[in-house]
Structure 1
Amino acid sequence: MKAMVGSLNSKKRNIPRQAIVLICITAGLLVLGSAINNQFLAPMNIANILTMSALLGFVSIGQTLVVLSGDDGLDLSVGGVMSLGAVMAYMLMNGKDENFVLALVVVLGAGALFGFLNAVGIVFARIPALVMTLAMANVLTSVQQLYSGGNPTGAPSPVAAQVATSKALPFLPWIAVLWVGVIILVYFLLTRTSYGKQLYATGANKNAALLAGVRVKKIRIITYTLCGVLSAFAGFWLCSYVGVIYVNAGTSYVMPSVAAVVIGGTLLSGGKGSYNGTVVGAIILTIVDSLLVMLDTDEAGRFIMNGVILVVLLAIYTRSPKIRQ
């Protein structure tokens, strides 16, 4: 087990080089945006970019954990869980601060439940992750319809709306400050806990991890459950930021959450990568989206561009000799 962890740690030393490349790409996109529009780097626009990056970053945490767990793990239900979390938060808070804690607890509990159901199907029924999570996404659409009657009514609490929409500094929204705190917690989880070490070991080589004493099934159950919790958490803050929620409000985050993970350098085969890379990937995607909006590209065009980015990255991924080996 120690040898395996040591090998994994040596691989992770290559990640800073990738981070430098990603940071350079981010800086290049910012310069390009400034050249197109001299207001692109204005504090208000930077704050908007950070806010949207935080929302994508929240839902991408669970996706990163699932991909790291290996076995072709991808969670296509993150958008459905995020949508359910947003609908539930919207209706439970109902514009009252005294409902804030209750709404958050119930939303996270619902996320844990559906994440756990994903895990049961994948780990015990051995349903492929893509099939199981896609089916769960469809189930979640019906759950939202039944829960809300198809037309959610309510409002975020003033406290939640204040955190989601106000700024600590002209260029720094409070929700981005919250995201920084979450980033630190996830970094600690992946690098300083037994769960993190076993997650990397499971993703790198499931059979070797089993022989080393890792409880692979338990790790994967925890991972998919966490993914559900984090997706619901993202939905809670989506509701708080947008203010008006409809059924399936979070489904547009599914493909960007995968793209952010891939851009960040996490291998789709599992076992190598970090959430830090996903953070930069989320920022890059948000900047690209902001540039497209600036160029008057409609929503369909932005979806197409996100798809093109993901396909190109996947093409590079599958052609890499090191990855194939």
Structure 2
Amino acid sequence: MPLPTLEHLLEKELLWERQEDASDLVRWWMDGIQLYKNLLRLDDQNERYRVQLANLLLKAGGDLKMRQHNFREATRLFRQLVRQIPDHALAYYRLGFLALYEQDWRRSITYFSSALTAKPANRAHQLSEEQRAKAYGYQAKGYQKISLALFEKAKQVGNETRDPATADAIDSFLLQTERELFSYEEVKPYIMVSRNQVLHLNKDEVIEKQAERGPSDIRLDLLGEKFLLVLPSDERIELTEQLARLLRYLMEQGKPVTSQMIREAVFPDSKSESIVRRTISRLRETIRYSCRMDDLIHTTPTGYSFHWPADFQIFYRNDDLFLTDILDN
């Protein structure tokens, strides 16, 4: 079957851009991904097609497995972009975040450094002041992670040393080094939000907190390959990333929020006027279909609110905090 012509695909692009308000957002993203893949087959040097495809892959997200696949594909596209345009600071910046998400600390440092030293003539390829500050900050985070890994190797050498005098000398050196390098608490990788507190946790503490859940509490678990709403009965409702993000926002607010507030916080890049109403409807339908609960999301005179008489917990990875920065432009 022959490929469609460029003219035909550009007409489809115009039609696709108008359809965001009338279709499911995830389906719209996936249609866009296929469209820009086809456009790149016809013009593989087109910067706009490559950036659009990479951005859609990042937005589409999905569950953890799909997100990892999409991020790898986006990384490949941004690498092609910097080969094509070596001074594209914004592409290096996004590659830095993608490497950081994969915990490739050395590569993230290299990409952020390239973003900061690039001097693009095209203003659209330049970093804003906020992006420059974040690039320096996340470079520091990468160096911190590398320092911790190297320090663990140094401790391992000390533990394996058989000579007591040498072991004492190593212990003394490491104690002094630890005070100089790590005079602050290492950021824990997980976060738990409840009605009255926000806690940073390690893996064992997450397990303890989940076991402490009250008999009437509900839990939104964003740590695994699937996004789950866990009910007091231990029934699990699987949510899409979009629905989980919306529910998390409503739960964290603890008060009624307007549709405009939801749109700005959860769907900042959407042009659809009905995105909030349609996604709220899908969230209610998903919960109602799974457990026949109709009262988790209340409609208020100005918007919506999350309603649950007992406590709740939300668990998510600390690295989720910088995922939005990947698309910051």
- TM bin, normalised by shorter chain, reads under 0.3
Higher relative contact order (CA 8 A, sep 6+): 1
Q: What TM-score does the superposition give when structure 2 sets the normalisation length? A: 0.26
Q: What TM-score does the superposition give when structure 1 sets the normalisation length? A: 0.26
- Higher-Rg member (1/2): 2
Looking at secondary structure, tell me which structure has more helix per residue. Answer: 1
